[in-house]
Amino acid sequence: MSPTIGVLALQGDVREHARALESCGAGAVPVRRARELAGVDALVLPGGESTTIDKLLRAFDLFDPVQDRLRAGMPAYGSCAGMILLADRLLGAAEGQQTLGGLDITVRRNAFGRQVDSFESDLVIDGIDGSDTQPVHAVFIRAPWVEEVGPAATVLARVVAGPAAGRIVAVRQGSLLATSFHPEVTGDMRVHRLFVKIVRDSL
């Protein structure tokens, strides 16, 4: 069965995520309205600026519908700002900033620094076959990291070298997946393939 996965199309790498999902055998549609959300099996929350996406979710009357679907068990994948939106707890939040929640994690916003501090790293990711011998090349752009993981969530990857060594950058909790990095920009589809499998298994 080919699932239909929405990509929240308020900000960020919407087209790149859609192409990656389609290359993994899923249908991909942009989501800007509640009626579009109602027609998808799962949702990708792309990178961007988390405070702006939070405000746009409210402006488009999407915050409550997305949160309701997440609480009802809809699979979701958040990359970078999407990880922030899925976190239950947030450090360094802007005034009034809220998250959709769902992941039992504490995320530090802009943890790796400013745009000029963006970097790349190779990762071994649990759940991705072959990443121990062919690591996933990860691109971090003004990225968050996971400061703390609660008992409901599972760590999938940590940075292995450099000043951020040991920092948690990928987590999963049931049908929710989140990464600090942007797999949609590298051409490596393995993270999206993992998410499509999570979605298929949930149907």
**pLDDT, tens digit (0-9, with 9 covering 90-100), for 7-33:** 999 998 899 999 999 999 999 999 999
Question: Which of 40, 98, 53 has the alpha carbon at shortest distance from 80?
Answer: 53
pLDDT tens, position by position, 99-140 = 999 999 999 987 766 544 567 889 999 999 899 999 999 998
Cα–Cα distance for residue pair 51/62, rounded to 1 Å: 15
Residue 116: predicted pLDDT: 41
Residue 135: predicted pLDDT: 96
First-last CA distance in the chain: 9
For the chain, the maximum distance between any two Cα atoms, rounded to a whole number of angstroms, is 45
Question: Which of 88, 83, 136, 77 has the alpha carbon at shortest distance from 111?
Answer: 83
Give pTM, 2 decimals. Answer: 0.95
State yes or no: pLDDT of 1 exceeds 90: no
pLDDT tens, position by position, 88-100 = 999 988 888 999 9
Q: For residue 126, what is the domain's CATH number?
A: 3.40.50.880
Cα–Cα distance for residue pair 73/90, rounded to 1 Å: 22
Question: Which of 37, 30, 34 has the alpha carbon at shortest distance from 13?
Answer: 30
List the catalytic residues: 80, 182, 184
Give the chain's domain count.
1
Residue 197 half-sphere exposure, CB side, CA atoms within 13 Å? Answer: 9
Per-residue pLDDT, averaged over 44-59, amounts to: 94
- Which residues constitute the domain of residue 163? 4-202
Cα–Cα distance for residue pair 5/122, rounded to 1 Å: 27
Cα–Cα distance for residue pair 150/144, rounded to 1 Å: 17
Residue 163: predicted pLDDT: 81
Residue 92: predicted pLDDT: 86
Question: Which of 24, 66, 68, 16 has the alpha carbon at shortest distance from 46?
Answer: 16
pLDDT tens, position by position, 142-183 = 889 999 999 999 999 999 888 888 999 999 999 999 999 999
Helix (H) or strand (E) holding 22: helix 14-23
Residue 161: predicted pLDDT: 84
